Amino acid sequence: MAESRYGIDSVRRGLDLLQAVAERGTLSLDEAVAITGSAKSTAFRLLETLQAAGLVERGPAGGYRPGPESVRWGLLLLGRLDVPNVAAEELRSLWLETGETIGLAMLTGKTIVLAEILESPSPFRMAELPGTVIAPHSSALGKAVLAHLAAERLEAMLGPPPFTMLTHNSPATRAELERRLERVRNDGFSVEIEESALGVACVAAAVFKRGHVTGGISIAGPRVRMTDDRLAQLGPLVAQVAGRVSRRLSPQVDRAG
């Protein structure tokens, strides 16, 4: 976060921690100390202040994660964007056609956040909550967005490798991730097979607004239903839907799909 000579140091450090929690999903006390450069007791007080405001909360496995107020603030900001409204009809049509869980994610700063979820009517389905921060390197939605970012912004979102291995299929190195992103650019959609969670597969395509990637649309389901053949069918379908949404957001931009 950029510093200002008029800034209040404790507020800046608190905002740095809030940003880190949003980007990483979970933040330990030791990580908070490293980010703020302060004593452990000071970092603890900053985190507890954020927790009292509902902006972070203690995670079940330790550390701090985004709290209900940070999610509510994020959703309020997302609600002021026109992308969810423009995409609503297309998302519902895709949900009815596929019977799988449909997601709409938005790129906000250095994070990708789920803005809308239409859950599959099947009792065996993928379930996420709006406001969930998506791991960019190991999710179909994340890769769909990353593939269209400028190099500087891509670096800022990813940070230095090795990347967190959510499963044994997650890309750990920049070279491996770049190979997957190149395939996204060539195919027009991304595929995730058990990269963020075992037993889950997903396809996604980027949504553009005035020529810039602004988010993505996904189709997710259990791997037992999302076979290789079905993923090959659903990939072009989600790309077509994302293309129609993009054209509605930017009618002057002619994108295939």
Same domain, 216 and 101: yes
Domain count, the chain: 2
Give the CA count within 13 Å in the CB-facing half-sphere of 163.
24
How far is it, in rounded angstroms, from Cα 222 to Cα 202?
A: 9
For every one of its 257 residues, what pLDDT tens digit does the chain have, with 9 covering 90 and above?
555 555 578 888 888 888 888 878 888 999 999 998 989 999 899 999 999 988 899 888 788 988 888 877 876 665 555 787 888 999 999 999 999 999 999 998 888 888 889 998 887 666 677 778 888 888 999 999 999 998 888 888 888 888 888 889 988 888 999 999 999 999 999 999 999 889 999 999 999 988 899 999 999 999 999 999 999 999 999 999 999 999 988 765 333 33
Which pTM value belongs to this model?
0.68
Last residue of a domain, which of 21, 44, 73?
73
Same domain, 58 and 134: no
Last residue of a domain, which of 41, 73, 105?
73
In a domain, 3, yes or no: no
Same domain, 138 and 54: no
Q: Alpha-carbon dihedral of residues 67, 71, 77, 81, nearest 10 degrees? A: 160
Provide the CATH number for the domain around residue 19: 1.10.10.10
In a domain, 255, yes or no: no
Query: Rounded to whole angstroms, what are the CA distances from 207 to 106, 169, 186?
Result: 9, 25, 16
Same domain, 109 and 60: no
Same domain, 185 and 167: yes
Same domain, 142 and 65: no
In a domain, 85, yes or no: yes
Last residue of a domain, which of 73, 103, 125?
73
Kindly report the length of the chain: 257
In a domain, 161, yes or no: yes
| Helix, strand, coil percentages, rounded to 5, for the chain | 45, 20, 35
Domain range enclosing 22: 9-73
In a domain, 95, yes or no: yes
Tokens of 219: 């189709």
Same domain, 41 and 121: no
Same domain, 52 and 110: no
